[in-house]
């Protein structure tokens, strides 16, 4: 039987120095209840860490609101929330969408209402850091008129010029336990963004895909990931060559658009990003 294992990432653009922290988080996860529990537990830890852009510390939209996306997936099911607000751990709500409703995805007010019915209390995920970042972003945008620059490439250039802090992106986990696979992802989005913008995270096959052969989750520029159905595309190639070669080839096709992936299969795991990306891995 394959070794039980979990692999985490802190987002495309996250500081590589965070990898040591992610290793500790990976080791702290209880794997006794299975792959889904392990992934959800790991992502919950990352949501509670304000240094990552998920849950507490999620970046704000241009209107100052905080809308978060999260998803969980196993071979037998999927659940996600889109644009959920005022909850501490969106990944837990996404799991309950999968387990407690006839639906796959809940969004906006419906997701919030469901969370309240499931016992999730009111919670403000904002921090002083995210408030500061939002104010600087607004000041920057006001300085160039009403137009919004292209994400990442142009925004990174302006961020360096005007000292606007960049957000790291999605956090995620994949696990293989008892021969079963699972994945979980969560994000506050990628600044600057309009209210209502949806990235790859809550869309099956885009930011996450899990099946009998393995689990894949992505991070980076959501619009580009969606166009390529990246995670499903990688999943369909599992077993045809080494996992790292598959991931590297797919990501290299994005050019200078920042994208990263972690994946786990029957007897291998891999991570690759065309920008910095903190990761943590543990074999149980």
Sign of CA dihedral 28, 121, 36, 52: negative
Distances 223 to 3, 193, 200, 236, 284 between C-alpha atoms, Å: 35, 12, 7, 21, 35
170 among known catalytic residues: yes
Given a contact cutoff of 8 angstroms between Cβ atoms, the answer to whether 256 and 48 are in contact is: no
Give ∠ CA 126-170-100 in degrees, rounded to 5: 85
Given a contact cutoff of 8 angstroms between Cβ atoms, the answer to whether 245 and 263 are in contact is: no
Residue 224 is given by DSSP the state H
- Active-site entry in 170, 187, 219, 279: 170
- What whole-number distance in Å separates Cα of residue 180 and Cα of residue 105? 23
Give catalytic residue positions: 170
């Amino acid at each position: 039987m394959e070794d039980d294992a979990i692999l985490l990432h802190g987002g495309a653009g996250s500081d590589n120095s965070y990898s040591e922290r992610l290793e500790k988080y990976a080791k702290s996860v209880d794997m006794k209840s299975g792959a889904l529990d392990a992934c959800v537990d790991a992502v919950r830890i990352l949501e509670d860490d304000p240094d990552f852009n998920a849950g507490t510390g999620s970046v704000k939209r241009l209107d100052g609101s905080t809308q978060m996306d999260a998803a969980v997936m196993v071979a037998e099911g999927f659940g996600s929330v889109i644009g959920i607000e005022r909850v501490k751990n969106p990944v837990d709500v996404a799991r309950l969408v999968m387990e407690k409703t006839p639906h796959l995805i809940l969004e906006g007010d419906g997701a919030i209402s469901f969370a309240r019915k499931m016992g999730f209390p009111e919670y403000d995920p904002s921090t002083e850091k995210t408030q500061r970042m939002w104010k600087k972003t607004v000041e920057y945008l006001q300085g160039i008129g009403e137009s919004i620059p292209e994400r990442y490439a142009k925004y990174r250039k302006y961020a360096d010029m005007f000292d606007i802090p960049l957000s790291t992106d999605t956090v995620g986990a994949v696990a293989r336990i008892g021969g079963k696979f699972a994945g979980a992802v969560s994000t506050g989005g990628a600044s600057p963004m309009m209210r209502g913008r949806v990235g790859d995270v809550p869309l099956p096959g885009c930011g996450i895909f899990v099946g009998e052969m393995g689990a894949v989750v992505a991070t980076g520029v959501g619009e580009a990931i969606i166009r390529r159905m990246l995670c499903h595309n990688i999943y369909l190639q599992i077993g045809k060559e080494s996992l790292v070669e598959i991931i590297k080839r797919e990501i290299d096709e994005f050019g200078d658009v920042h994208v990263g992936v972690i994946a786990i299969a029957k007897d291998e795991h891999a991570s690759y990003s065309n920008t910095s990306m903190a990761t943590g891995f543990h074999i149980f």
